[in-house]
Structure 1
Amino acid sequence: MPHSDDLLWGAVADISRFAALLTMAELGLADHLAHGPLSTSDLAARCDADAPRLRRVLRELAGMGVVRGAGPDAYDLTERGTALRSDVPDSVRSSIRMLGEEGFWHAMGNLPATVRNGGSAFAARYGHLYEYLAANPGAGKLFDDYMTARAIPFTEGLAKRYDFPDTATMVDVAGGKGHILATVLHANPDMRGILFDLEHVADRARELLAAEGLAERSEVVTGDFFAGVPAGGDVYLLASVLHNWDDDDAVTILRNVRRAMDPGGRVLVLEVVLPDDEAPHLGKDIDMRMLAIFDGGTERSREEYAALLDRADLRLAEVVELGAGASLIEARPR
């Protein structure tokens, strides 16, 4: 078969592989296998599953290299499969569970309807993503865990590759649980931070910042960034924020930041920046999720971000590659 056919049939098979991984993540199979091999019947009993059906999923997972046979009708966890344990630093379990969550599954499965109708099938059924997460605490926790895991590589890149002002106050706009703010404050011990987000996020952020020993150097403020953001910051971080909104809404957010910031301040936009060519790119994959979930949310190119900043009386000063497909766009007042 031609190579293109391999690619297309591989994509068809990927739905089955993802479903098997989702089953592994939801049932916590990697956690149950963490201390050694188990028979299928023992594993089924531990995760309250049907043994014959679980056996078929394990067979698929073995073909993917995340488990391996360990004697008659028994399985063990592989090194690759360890990444699905919930207690390892780079666990992908929450990410898989989030992408298989009911609303997200509906969104991706109805992408054709979204494209045909010109509006997100997810939004039509559930409303805006953040309303959905606020109304569904279980999904909200999954989303927080997913965003934390997804942010680890480029958060470390941000702390190492960007030169923050020594005594600055950074306002992390829509900062979620505070994992990015905590990383930056640890790397810059003379900085202070303000985490700004919706009320239902605030308690989780306070807990994380306190657990990181940063309660004295940080503050959690609640509000709506369409109405305004905390004033007087030296650095305003917008991490994975603007891609959730159409151009007009993104400009509104940026204008509110521009009004709030000190004259010598700066805005840091942390996003995946799309290339101008047709080569495969992580941002193009993520853009399919943005298209499916949001009415107007989109990944953008450098030129498109520069245009948004210009409308908000900001100028694009620098783009810093952070790794893991993410970039940091630094903007300054005009």
Structure 2
Amino acid sequence: MAELGLADHLAHGALDTGELARRCGAHAPSLRRVLRELAGMDVVRPAGADAYDLTEKGTALRSDVPDSVRSSIRMLGEEGFWYAIGMLPTTVRDGSSAFVKRYGHLYDHLAKNPRSGRLFDEYMTARAIPFTEGLAKRYDFPATATMVDVAGGKGHILATVLHANPHMRGILFDLEHVVDGARQTLAAEGLAGRSEVVSGDFFAEVPAGGDVYLLASVLHNWDDEDALKILRNVRRAMDPGGRVLVLEVALPDDEEPHLGKDLDMRMLAIFNGGTERSRDEYADLLGQADLTLTEVVELGAGASLIEARPR
């Protein structure tokens, strides 16, 4: 349903199966069988002879609604991700990712496969919306600070923070093949005059002199050794009175259910060493980088903002 865009096609009212198949480029008899199953799942409902309408639950699969889950579901069905989860037993037996053995590192795979890369960008943009809004609303940024968004991607988080804090400036730092998209985003948002885009490798160094360094969904991609390299480079680059903000899904330290534990299975499947961590594990990691955890702000949707300052 997500891949064919059925919810988008049904957004303005019921369609018969033949017309819906024509619009989404599907084989009508096969689609009819899928719609029957979707009706049983209460994401569509019958609307006359051989016609279907969207339910309230199914609306979440539209592309144009707040909290849309379409991009996340499509990402789960992407060839490499699907393979990774299917091969999870092999990964657990071997202790190394079957995905990495077949496809290489995730970001190399995405760079080699533009369709998958675009799909991942859509997923990350949609996933970041609740975190980003929570970050802008719930964290008290220094009024005139310069924030360095390390591995800032297309710049959506930085743009949201700068709009919410009109006296701040920003530096977006990411790999060379990523930063052109960030320049376009920041220019389109009218922020080119308050921002700078820098390319580089965070395992080598990060831009110096920032007041706030944001690592959003970065550290969970790496094992402790590599995560420490990143944090130590940030610690060396930051001003003495600066702070580090780690935006991640922080796991509880007990056995209570948590979205992050499901995400951790996906990290296990896709990365060698990538892992979701608990607050205590982040506190220990930050301590090894000469940083002290000073505050944790809950952002919703399972995400936490962990603030740390130099010891």
The verdict on a shared fold, with TM-score over 0.5 as the criterion, is yes
Alignment counterpart, residue 36 of structure 1, candidates 13, 25, 38: 13
SS of the aligned residue for 1:252 comes to: helix
Inter-partner Cα distance in structure 1 for 2:88 and 2:280: 27
Structure 1 distance, partners of 2:189, 2:40, is 40
Deviation by residue 1:237-290 (Cα, 9 ceiling, x = unmatched): 001100000000000000000111111100000111111111111110110000
Q: Show the counterpart of 2:285.
A: 308
1:113 deviates by 0.4
Contact 2:253 2:280 (C-alpha < 8 Å) held by counterparts: no
Aligned to 1:283: 260
Q: Mapping of 1:259-270 within 5 angstroms?
A: 259-270=236-247
In structure 2, C-alpha distance between the alignment counterparts of 1:65 and 1:195, rounded to whole Å: 43
Runs of 4+ with >4 A deviation:
none
Q: Distance in 2 between matches of 1:216 and 1:82?
A: 39
Quick one: distance in 1 between partners of 2:263 and 2:226?
20
> Which one of the candidate residues 151, 154, 161 is aligned to 1:184?
161
Structure 2 counterpart of 1:140, from 99, 108, 117? 117
The amino acid that maps onto 1:216 is: G
Any gaps of 5 or more consecutive residues in structure 2?
none
CA–CA distance in structure 1, aligned partners of residues 213 and 86 of structure 2: 36
Shift of 1:95: 1.2
Calculate percent identity across the aligned residue pairs: 84
Deviations 1:208-244 (Å, cap 9, x if unpaired)? Answer: 2122121111111111100111111000000110000
2:64 alignment partner, one of 66, 87, 91: 87
- The letter of the residue matching 2:211 is D
What SS does the corresponding residue of 2:49 show, helix, strand or coil?
coil
Aligned AA (1:56): R
Q: In the aligned structure 2, how far is the partner of 1:283 from the partner of 1:209? A: 30
- Look up the SS of the partner of 2:253 in the other structure: coil
The amino acid of 1:226's aligned partner reads F
Superposition deviation, residue 80 in structure 1: 2.2
Between the aligned partners of 1:320 and 1:42, the Cα distance in structure 2 is: 48
Alignment of 1:194-233 (within 5 A): 194-233=171-210
May I ask how many residue pairs the two structures share in their alignment?
A: 311
Residue 252 of structure 1 corresponds to which residue in structure 2? Answer: 229
Distance of 2:71 and 2:193 partners within structure 1: 30
SS of the equivalent of 1:270 reads strand
What TM-score comes out, normalization by structure 2 length? 0.98
Counterpart check, 1:298 vs 2:299: no
The alignment's TM-score, normalised by the length of structure 1, stands at 0.91
In 2, Cα distance between the equivalents of 1:208 and 1:64?
Answer: 38
The amino acid of 1:273's aligned partner reads A
